[in-house]
Amino acid sequence: MSDGRRVVVTGIGLRSPIGHTMGELKSSLKAGVTGIRSVDEWKSIENMRTLVAGLCRDIDESAIPRQYRRTMGRVGILSALSAIDAVRDSGLSEETTSSDRCGVSYGSTQGSSTSLEEFVKKVFSTRSLKGMQSSSYLQFMSHTCAANLAMMFQSKGPVVASCTACVSGSQGIGFGYDAIRSGRAEVMITGGAEEMHFMHSGVFDIMRATSTRFNDRPEATPRPFDAERDGLVVGEGGGCLVLEDYDHARKRGARLYAEILGFGTNCDGSHLTNPSAAGMAGAMRIALADAGIPADAIGHVNAHATATEAGDIAESSATYDIFRDAAPVSAFKGYMGHTLGACGAIESIITILMMRDGFIAPTRNLETPDPRCAPVRHVLKDTIESSFTKGMNNNFAFGGINTSLIFGLV
Q: Which of 248, 300, 304, 378 is catalytic?
A: 304
Q: What is the CATH number of the domain that holds 25?
A: 3.40.47.10
At 359 the three-state DSSP class reads strand
The amino acid that residue 377 corresponds to is: R
Q: Which of 200, 248, 338, 378 is catalytic?
A: 338
Is 3 a residue whose pLDDT tops 70? no
Rounded Cα–Cα distance for residues 219 and 90 (Å): 35
pTM of the entire predicted model: 0.97
Long-range contacts of 368-371, Cβ-Cβ distance < 8 Å, separation of 24 or more: 368/226, 368/227, 368/228, 369/225, 369/226, 369/227, 370/225, 370/226, 370/227, 370/229, 370/312, 370/313, 371/227
| Position 304 in a domain | yes
Q: Which of 56, 145, 163, 166 is catalytic?
A: 166
Torsion sign across C-alpha atoms 107, 110, 114, 119: positive
Answer for the pair 383, 332: CB distance below 8 angstroms, yes or no.
no
pLDDT in tens, 313-362: 999 999 999 999 999 999 999 999 999 999 999 999 999 999 999 999 99
Rounded Cα–Cα distance for residues 97 and 150 (Å): 9
pLDDT at 355: 98
pLDDT at 134: 87
Range of the domain at 125: 8-408
Of 251, 153, 143, 146, the closest CA to residue 190 belongs to 146
Angle at 405 between CA 94 and CA 245, to 5 degrees: 35
| Position 234 in a domain | yes
Annotated active-site residue 166? The verdict is yes
pLDDT at 4: 82
| Position 245 in a domain | yes
Say what angle helices 309-323 and 277-291 make with each other, to 10 degrees: 40
Annotated active-site residue 304? The verdict is yes
pLDDT in tens, 196-208: 999 999 999 999 9
| Position 3 in a domain | no
Answer for the pair 169, 345: CB distance below 8 angstroms, yes or no.
yes
Q: Please, where are the H alpha helices in 217-308?
A: 246-251, 277-291
**In the chain, how many domains are there?**
1
pLDDT in tens, 251-270: 999 999 999 999 999 999 99
Rounded Cα–Cα distance for residues 296 and 37 (Å): 38
At 210 the three-state DSSP class reads strand
pLDDT in tens, 212-258: 999 999 999 999 999 999 999 999 999 999 999 999 999 999 999 99
pLDDT in tens, 284-309: 999 999 999 999 999 999 999 999 99
| Position 269 in a domain | yes
pLDDT at 229: 98
Of 207, 226, 210, 237, the closest CA to residue 52 belongs to 210
